[in-house]
Chains A and B, each alone.
Chain A
Amino acid sequence: MEQITTFEQLVSHMQAEAKKNKIPRAAYIGLPDVQAVKMMAQASRDKIAKSIVLYNKEECSQVLLEAEVDDLQLPVIHADSIGDACAQAVKMLAGGQIEYLILGEKYIDAFDILAANGFVPHKRSACHVAVFEHEKYPRLLLLSDGFVTPAPDLVGKMDIIGQAVGVAHRLGVETPKVAVTAAVEVVYPVMDVTKDAAVLAKMSDRRQIKGCIVDGPLSMDCATVPEVAKDKGVVSPVAGVADVLIAPNVETGNGIYKAMSLVAKAKTAGVIVGGKCPVALMANCDGPDNVYYSLALTSLLTLG
């Protein structure tokens, strides 16, 4: 598979796949806003994903009405509460009626409900992987984790790298270049983040982390701007050309996500992986396109 470097390519790829495979089906948990409803209907028409909504039917029909989307394009199944919607979703997953879930950031609590009920298998951890497309960067840029894992330790970071690299592979990035980010690009004994990053880089050197090249610590500019990396004398196969950014903690990941989506107006998609199925996640600050791209990304992950 050729490497996907834009969302446009991702969408065409999924449309081509739809001809060969069944179109992935998804359930939105909660009350979507008008834009999300429009985009889910659009994704359905474009054979990216067939979605349904699990929530209070009355409230949903008003939003559908406003979005001028009918119940055939976006069926609504009544749920009394978010908890009920989660329970129904899990049942539908088990019964093979849907392949994945969709959440808005305002319903991220629902993920905790799911996780508490065995959605995330024991000994695994879930993490969020974001995908950005920005005019200043010649390829897709992935980021993990800005939403789910609060303060990963070394093992947690290995897990996050594995999950994010898995998504990068699905996007056709053969050997993803992973930058473990920090405030600086050197190891400072007082900065634990830099030490973890250096350990991960060494583990990658020794092939303990496979399927990718990991380097760190790398500052954000050393990771993504080749001139800065060169100017600072950072010699690394990852510096300046990172495919994946690993954030040291959820607050930093969240800050990067919002800086990219809200401030820098990057095109974005996001998904939580590591559970029984992937969960597309739309952040509060994302534009409507994000719904469409997140569905395309998450559908891609559910293909066999």
Chain B
Amino acid sequence: MLKSSQDIIDAAKKLSAGGKRPRIAVAVAQDADVLGAIRSAYDDGICDGSLFGDEAKIKEAADKAGVSLDNLDVIHVPDANEAVLGAVKLAAEGNADAVMKGFVSTSALLKGVLDKRFGLRQGPTLSHVAVLTIPGRDKLLLITDGGMVVKPDEQQRIDIVKNSLIVARALGIKPIKVALSAATDRVVASMPQTSESAKIAEALRAENIPDLEIAGPMAFDTAISPVVAKKIGANHPVAGDADVYVVGSIEECNITTKSMIIFHEAIFAGVIIGAKIPVSLVSRTDPVIGKKTSIALACLTADYYRRTQGEG
């Protein structure tokens, strides 16, 4: 079981060294930060890169980032939409393992990924899964969805849980302890998210998903702190030991996560799940280790998809 950002990077390196070096297809690669991240992932032996975009602009961005393009494939596609399609096609044909967002909007990238011609569409819901390394905690925390679904309905939240399980499995987490969020641990009539979380937990328990422990509603402190869980007598196996925290809105995820990044130096990595390949994106403001972890995470997730191909 991987416990930190560094563990994720190391696992990806090991995977790569074991002869299954993944390839990341970058869509519209003329982005200095993305090129910097891909370069360092390449140099660390994590992955190869295929850079789709305007060659001159890619060179310019690489200069700006102060990185070389040696050993990275540059595929000259001046038009941004075409560059997206080129990157997605490479992945659809099995010649790349993940697609990464460059200098293009997330929606334009996902439109390409979901283009019916490529057959990469899978689940009904695409969601972002963040993987946090929280100093002082002895395991990773997956938190979702802070990037895709603004205000998920009940079914979408179920899909979001299932998407998060893919990442948890790719990280070797077993059993997977999932907590469904609310502002309190009790079902309270005035707070609809409490009853929704209870219903979702029950529905997913009924599905008997292997290795899944799920509970909700559960406040954030009850979910991640054994001390709080003990103090309030929450004796569910998930309480105090959650691997995954599934929130109720994009704001809840984004702002809670950022509070931990700003005030506690949590390391953030993330991946978009829901297609047949992982979609990687890094934010300009992520520190180098966060960007590298995101790429490593995409590689591990891609490997998990490969290993489980054909399974339901």
Contact = CB atoms under 8 A, between A and B. Distances in A.
Contacts of B248: 251
B220 A136 contact: no
10 contacts: A33-B231, A150-B183, A181-B255, A182-B251, A249-B252, A250-B183, A251-B249, A256-B255, A262-B220, A262-B228
B232 to A, nearest CB: 5
A254 B250 contact: no
B190 interface: yes
Interface stretch (A86-94, A163-171, A216-224): A216-224
A285 B221 contact: yes
Interface of B: 134, 136, 146, 150-151, 181-184, 190-193, 219-222, 224-225, 227-228, 231-232, 247-264, 266, 285
Of all A-B residue pairs in the complex, the 9 with the closest CB atoms, nearest first, are A255-B256, A264-B263, A285-B221, A259-B259, A220-B258, A183-B254, A254-B183, A264-B264, A258-B220
Q: Classify the secondary structure of B's interface with A.
A: helix
B254 A150 contact: no
Contacts of B285: 221, 228, 231
Given A220-B259, A251-B193, A284 B221 contact: yes
A255 B184 contact: no
A238 to B, nearest CB: 16
Interface of A: 33, 106, 108, 134, 136-137, 146-147, 150-151, 181-183, 190-193, 219-221, 224-225, 228, 231, 247-256, 258-266, 283-285
B191 A260 contact: no
B225 A262 contact: yes
Contact of B256 (A108, A256, A261, A265): A256
Contacts of B249: 193, 248-249, 251-252
Contacts of A221: 258, 261-262, 285
Given A183-B250, A284-B221, A285-B225, A255 B255 contact: yes
- Give the interface centre of B183, B224, B248, B264 by most chain A CB atoms within 10 Å: B183
Contacts of A225: 262
B224 A251 contact: no
Contacts of A260: 259, 263
Contacts of A136: 262-263
